[in-house]
Structure 1
Amino acid sequence: MSNATTNKSKKLTNPTETEKSNGSDEKSQENDITIALAGNSNVGKSVLFNELTGSNQIIGNWPGKTVERAEGKLLFEGKEITVIDLPGIYSFSTYSMEEIVSREYIAFEQPDVVINVVDASVLERNLFFTIQLKEMKVPMVVCVNQIDLAKQKGIVIDTERLSAALGVPVVATVAIRGEGLHELMEVATEVALNKSKNKITTLKYGAEVEDRIQRITQLIESKNLNLGYPSRWVAIKLLENDPEIRKLIESKSMQIVNSAYDMAREIESIHNEPSFAVIASERYFIANQFANGAQLQSDIKITFAERLDKLVTHRIFGYVISALVVGGLLLWTFIVGDFFSSLLTQAFGFFKPVDPQVSGPIVGILWNGAFGGIVAGVTLVLPFVIPFYLMLSLIENSGILTRVAFMMDSAMHKIGLHGKALIPMILGYGCNVPAIESTRILETRRERLLAAFAITFAPCAARTIVILGLVAVFVSVWWAIALYVIDIAVMFLLGRIALKIVPGETSGLIMEMHTFKVPSISVAAKQTWSRTKSLIYVVFPVYIIGSALIQGLFAYGFLTPVANFLAPITVVWLGLPVIAGVVLIFGAVRKEFTLLMLVALFGTNLAAVLTPIQFIILALVSMLFIPCLATLTILLREFGWKATSSIALANIVTALIVGGIAYRIIGIFM
């Protein structure tokens, strides 16, 4: 971040390379700072993270956890800053792995400063979590983000008054435009470097609650337990009956646990409510006071975003818009992908050879296959995957995706799910693995299992490669769209069947919808690249090496016996070439292998060996067939071998039945 950026509302630029060239690599470790970004979902935290760190990011999982960890670096005024983007959460309870990961990181890793990102337009609701961060006694800066959207609603935030109430620095930002980020980093680094001088004030609750918090705190401190967590925070968690904290203290002192239990019962008898609800009410009361004291009302105008929100959630037009959003996403992918695929195919037409070689020296066979894999990856993968991920990011960041989920709630109930399940199902169109992991946002195992079952039929990016690479390129875009329609119908029908088989009740929908906003192109581009690069790193080597190996195996006759054994199914029932059996088996390892093997064996001009109806049937069966090994692995981890086996068997049976029926019906018209 350049020192020349003195205007506090000026857009943040990515200065990493510039500052590195000025020799700042030689700074001592004393200047290294770790910042954690914490806050609710949909407050612009990820946008802030992307604006600060640019492309200098590492995305992985927390050690021993399935929760995603995002870490990035930047240089600011000679200091190397590591930024950790904690999962979006609403409390430090133990209801989700994200909440446990966040509180353990803050308590045990002890970042130099926590930037608590809050949404200016819903300040009171966000301050509920801010108060919990205060209870953790961490060096903190509050980032009041999206102040532009708040002003559109007639809300102006007095940051100085809010800072005085909270006892921590407060900075206003518009992260999507980079406004206020320089001031935010100035304040954050100052807090991080002067932790010993920062007096962390304690927020007091009502008398009957506060008295018991202090008594438990004193008891904890008298035992010298070295818990890692602040004693006052532990006392509050014991009163809330937090199971993890209760278990931690039980191993050290049952006296504290019993005393806390008795005091929690006393609070419940006074308020005639569970103790955790009483403490939550106390936090909301304080949050309400702080928010009301800091909010200045201006002229309220009905904004375009509010009008759009009413239209998108309208009881009639909302369904039309939801269908247009999902359909538009797919149609955009088909049209744009087909256009770029044609351009790249023509460009690669100048390179020879690209046709398969199944005789001659082994080196020539392998090289020919490897080059064919490169051509297939460039012409059949990238043109379709990149437009899909780009548009998905724009829809996701604009706020439309959550509205679509809300509108689809009643329809999703028909298969035992609610609208929130639509989000992982749409993510399944990118990749089934993270989509199945994201089913954890659902409340019950039954809902997660039903959603995961439906997701295994969602055409992921790999299946999309097969559909578009076979059907959109060699038959027509409209037949590719028809396959998606068939897939949705199959998902709905099987979902209804699974609903009858899997016992249990469907819960209602509780989901926050953040304000509509214009998505950041740069943020969407970074998310697109983050999602695409893993595909490139994995798929391209697989295409190159796999294509060479498959061509070699075929040239030396290893695949023929397998193909002949499966011929009664592939040839007689499905109407496909003999080699299709081996193609489907390879596709069960990774779905791209279906297309990869065909290219390796027959070259990129597949129209010479397959008829239009065979293109359609092969793509359809591959789309519904057993999920890839990575998907089966995540299913096994999340649900066990019985559920995984049942889902895999349902995929195989469905693919073969639907494929055979489709072959006979489509054959009438083609």
Structure 2
Amino acid sequence: MSKDTDERSPKPKRFKRSKKQEKEGDTPQKIDYTIALAGNANVGKSVVFNELTGSNQIIGNWPGKTVERAVGKLLFESKCIEVIDLPGIYSFSTYSMEEIVSREYIAFEKPDVVINVVDASVLERNLFFTIQLKEMNVPLIVCVNQIDLAKQKGIIIDTDKLSKALGVPVVSTVAIRGEGLHELMETAIETAGQKTVTDTHTLKYGAEVENRIEKITEDIDNKNLDLGYPSRWVAIKLLENDPEIRKLVEAQSREVVNHAYALAREIEEIHNEPSFSVIASERYFLANQFAFGAQLESKIKITFAEKLDRLVTHRVFGYIVSALVIGGLLLWTFVVGDFLSGLLSNAFSFFQPVDPQTSGTLTSILWNGAFGGIVAGVTLVLPFVIPFYMMLSLIENSGILTRVAFMMDSAMHKIGLHGKALIPMILGYGCNVPAIESTRILETRRERLLAAFAITFAPCAARTIVILGLVAVYVNIWWAIALYGIDLLVMFVLGRLAYKVVPGEASGLIMEMHTFKVPSISVAAKQTWSRTKSLIYVVFPVYIIGSAAIQALYALGFLTPIANALAPITVFWLGLPVIAGVVLIFGAVRKEFVLLMLVAIFGTNLAAVLTPIQFVILALVSMLFLPCLATLTVLLKEFGAKATTTIALANIVTALIVGGLAYRLFLPFL
């Protein structure tokens, strides 16, 4: 057994970035080596990337979260190394943009080393992709990560045996603790220094497949085709009937393509199934052999993580846990946010009361408005957004979020979606824009459109600011929670209607669920800051400038005519003050403008001008009304003008109908 994996061996050397390399100016400009990290989703690849580079890239636990590769730099033993974190994928097919991006980068950019990160506890499944990387004939290292979790399951990996079977270096790591990364980088430098790849260890398939691969490879070599990919890899792809590779080869030699097609037909006749399926089976057979040969099992104990997994995915208790997770996330945000908001409000009131100024010099009005914007941002945005993002990060990184998505699969099918759609919908509670972009993880345009439609009703951070800033602060937490319940009901009803209207069939759920793990506080903190800082950079300037401008416009009388024109809807139907019409229009630009305008016009003591029922109805209508301009823009880009217009109209009509009905229903209780 290899000394890296022997439980009696010394503890692996932990990787630490030096203080020197933390300083950007000390990193040499010249890149000595380029390393690409490749592998399946949820194997810890992004953790390896962050540990090596100190990058602030967000780490998530769902597949396909990043199409564009992430880049970082590392100073190791006086060498400047560029590290590329490729998207998490399972094959080099052409079914997704992530797979195309990864294979084209590896083939054409030619990194000095490709590090294939695999999960030690599910080695056979991960080696399916490793075999495809071997076929690419690249300088390859296999990083067997999460060996600690594998040991908890009674699995020990002999890296020496695995290295001998694959014909490439193999290093074991626990990336989240930095263990093994030093040896990994030493091996990477050594491999990169060899410059050329001589594959003397070609992985062979069964005779009927291997013979045909060799014939096509010989055809490609004899015709001297310039394809950019290794000949053997192209031959295998032609047998798999890969459309992109077939077009690439056909542009130079139709004869090779025709011969490959005929050979693929022969394989299909022998096995009575599609040739790509036959080759996939061959790869899995090899992966099974390699994993079985390198994997040693000790006495298996049922771990706490496995017991927890059974509870969370139980057909009865799983739904209770899912409800507790989602409800707990929101309740945590409300309780902690309300406490922090109170502390900050008292602190600012001690220094200077915040009251609007609608008379006097223009300079004094602008300054007063700007200060009110600062107070609104500090007391009504940060206290609620930071706790939400922190808890969401911990839930993501623990692995529980994918279990919740799995349990919600049957319920999501009621609106034509599967459980995987819950991930972008929960992301929508942070921001609708990246949530709609992340619907690309869904398989069909219909599913993406239905999910995007539902997401436009999800109370994002900006809407949450309005709900909490108006209802939780001035009414009570329970009415704020009630608004979230109403929102979920609206999303379900409208999703069900859209499911009936939009043609197509719902698909089944296939989702990777990685092992439960204790989330890293430091990783969650980095992720929280990465998400929060973009909000701060946008919200605070908008609040400061916008509050000053709105207060000036109100003082000069520009807003009153618009408000009066909309009074039949806002006053008669919704029971709101006259100014609410202008407030809702500004809120369509950015949702925070609803709160911002009220503070700019009336000050932070809004209870003096609005009744409890008006707080609730204004927050409800703002939550369901038109999504912000940024959301409409991404909808237009993803789905076109017709779908975007339909979704926008549905939002407006829903907000007005639900708001008017809620006003009449809630009035006796508030």
TM-score interval for Structure 1 and Structure 2 normalised by the shorter chain? over 0.9
Partner in structure 1 of residue 445 of structure 2? 445
For the residue of structure 2 that corresponds to 1:604, the secondary structure is: coil
Partner in structure 2 of residue 18 of structure 1? 20
In 2 relative to 1, CA 318–548 (structure 1 residues): closer, same or farther, beyond 3 Å?
same
Deviations 1:445-477 (A, max 9, x none): 222211111111111111111111111111111
Shift of 1:56: 5.6
In 2 relative to 1, CA 529–32 (structure 1 residues): closer, same or farther, beyond 3 Å?
farther
Shift of 1:481: 0.5
Cα distance in 2, alignment partners of residues 22 and 84 from structure 1? 18
Q: What are the within-5 Å matches in structure 2 for residues 153-552 of structure 1?
A: 153-196=153-196, 199=199, 201-352=201-352, 354-552=354-552
What amino acid sits opposite 1:375 in the alignment? V
| Unmatched 5+ stretches in structure 2 | 1-9, 60-64
Deviations 1:240-278 (A, max 9, x none): 111121222222222222122111111111211101001
For the residue of structure 2 that corresponds to 1:88, the secondary structure is: coil
Partner in structure 1 of residue 4 of structure 2? none
In 2 relative to 1, CA 66–510 (structure 1 residues): closer, same or farther, beyond 3 Å?
closer
For the residue of structure 2 that corresponds to 1:510, the secondary structure is: coil
TM-score, length of structure 1 as denominator length: 0.94
Deviations 1:151-210 (A, max 9, x none): 111110001111111111111111122211111122122222333376563212122212
Q: Is the 8 A contact 1:353 1:368 kept in 2?
A: no
Cα distance in 2, alignment partners of residues 659 and 182 from structure 1? 60
For the residue of structure 2 that corresponds to 1:525, the secondary structure is: helix
Cα distance in 2, alignment partners of residues 24 and 551 from structure 1? 48
Partner in structure 2 of residue 3 of structure 1? none
Cα distance in 1, alignment partners of residues 194 and 58 from structure 2? 28
What amino acid sits opposite 2:194 in the alignment? N
Cα distance in 2, alignment partners of residues 154 and 307 from structure 1? 15
Deviations 1:557-599 (A, max 9, x none): 2212111111111111111111111111111111111112222
Cα distance in 2, alignment partners of residues 407 and 547 from structure 1? 44
In 2 relative to 1, CA 332–22 (structure 1 residues): closer, same or farther, beyond 3 Å?
closer
Partner in structure 1 of residue 150 of structure 2? 150
Shift of 1:68: 4.0
Q: Is the 8 A contact 1:56 1:74 kept in 2?
A: no
Partner in structure 1 of residue 616 of structure 2? 616
For the residue of structure 2 that corresponds to 1:83, the secondary structure is: strand
Identity across the alignment (%): 82
What amino acid sits opposite 1:581 in the alignment? G
Partner in structure 2 of residue 129 of structure 1? 129
For the residue of structure 2 that corresponds to 1:590, the secondary structure is: coil
Cα distance in 2, alignment partners of residues 172 and 577 from structure 1? 65
Cα distance in 1, alignment partners of residues 635 and 336 from structure 2? 33
TM-score, length of structure 2 as denominator length: 0.94
What amino acid sits opposite 1:11 in the alignment? R
In 2 relative to 1, CA 551–162 (structure 1 residues): closer, same or farther, beyond 3 Å?
same
Partner in structure 1 of residue 52 of structure 2? 52
Q: Is the 8 A contact 1:58 1:72 kept in 2?
A: no
Shift of 1:21: 6.8
Cα distance in 2, alignment partners of residues 393 and 71 from structure 1? 22
Cα distance in 2, alignment partners of residues 473 and 622 from structure 1? 16
What amino acid sits opposite 1:12 in the alignment? F
Cα distance in 2, alignment partners of residues 571 and 454 from structure 1? 28
Partner in structure 2 of residue 62 of structure 1? none
Shift of 1:46: 1.7
For the residue of structure 1 that corresponds to 2:350, the secondary structure is: coil
Cα distance in 2, alignment partners of residues 596 and 80 from structure 1? 48
Deviations 1:613-632 (A, max 9, x none): 11111110010011111111
Partner in structure 2 of residue 9 of structure 1? 12
For the residue of structure 2 that corresponds to 1:350, the secondary structure is: helix
Cα distance in 1, alignment partners of residues 554 and 25 from structure 2? 56
Deviations 1:405-464 (A, max 9, x none): 111111111111111111111111111111112212222222221111111111111111
Partner in structure 1 of residue 140 of structure 2? 140
What amino acid sits opposite 1:79 in the alignment? K
In 2 relative to 1, CA 495–21 (structure 1 residues): closer, same or farther, beyond 3 Å?
closer
Q: Is the 8 A contact 2:139 2:197 kept in 1?
A: no
Cα distance in 1, alignment partners of residues 669 and 269 from structure 2? 74
Deviation larger for 451-460 or 240-249? 240-249
Cα distance in 2, alignment partners of residues 384 and 316 from structure 1? 32
In 2 relative to 1, CA 342–33 (structure 1 residues): closer, same or farther, beyond 3 Å?
farther
For the residue of structure 2 that corresponds to 1:480, the secondary structure is: helix
Deviations 1:94-123 (A, max 9, x none): 111111111122122222211111110100
What amino acid sits opposite 1:497 in the alignment? L
Deviations 1:377-412 (A, max 9, x none): 111111111111111111111111111111111111
| Unmatched 5+ stretches in structure 1 | 1-6, 60-64
Deviation larger for 536-545 or 387-396? 536-545
Cα distance in 2, alignment partners of residues 468 and 109 from structure 1? 49
For the residue of structure 2 that corresponds to 1:349, the secondary structure is: helix
Q: Give the superposed CA RMSD.
A: 2.0
In 2 relative to 1, CA 197–403 (structure 1 residues): closer, same or farther, beyond 3 Å?
closer
Cα distance in 1, alignment partners of residues 56 and 394 from structure 2? 21
Cα distance in 2, alignment partners of residues 537 and 269 from structure 1? 62
Q: Is the 8 A contact 2:20 2:26 kept in 1?
A: no
Cα distance in 2, alignment partners of residues 579 and 134 from structure 1? 66
Q: Is the 8 A contact 2:56 2:530 kept in 1?
A: no
Deviations 1:596-618 (A, max 9, x none): 22222222222222111111111
Q: Is the 8 A contact 1:94 1:100 kept in 2?
A: yes
Deviations 1:470-527 (A, max 9, x none): 1111111111101000100111111111111112211111112111111111111111
What amino acid sits opposite 1:226 in the alignment? D
Q: Is the 8 A contact 2:13 2:180 kept in 1?
A: yes
Q: Is the 8 A contact 2:56 2:526 kept in 1?
A: no
What amino acid sits opposite 1:88 in the alignment? G
Cα distance in 2, alignment partners of residues 590 and 23 from structure 1? 38
For the residue of structure 1 that corresponds to 2:597, the secondary structure is: helix
In 2 relative to 1, CA 446–246 (structure 1 residues): closer, same or farther, beyond 3 Å?
same
Partner in structure 2 of residue 119 of structure 1? 119
Cα distance in 1, alignment partners of residues 283 and 399 from structure 2? 28
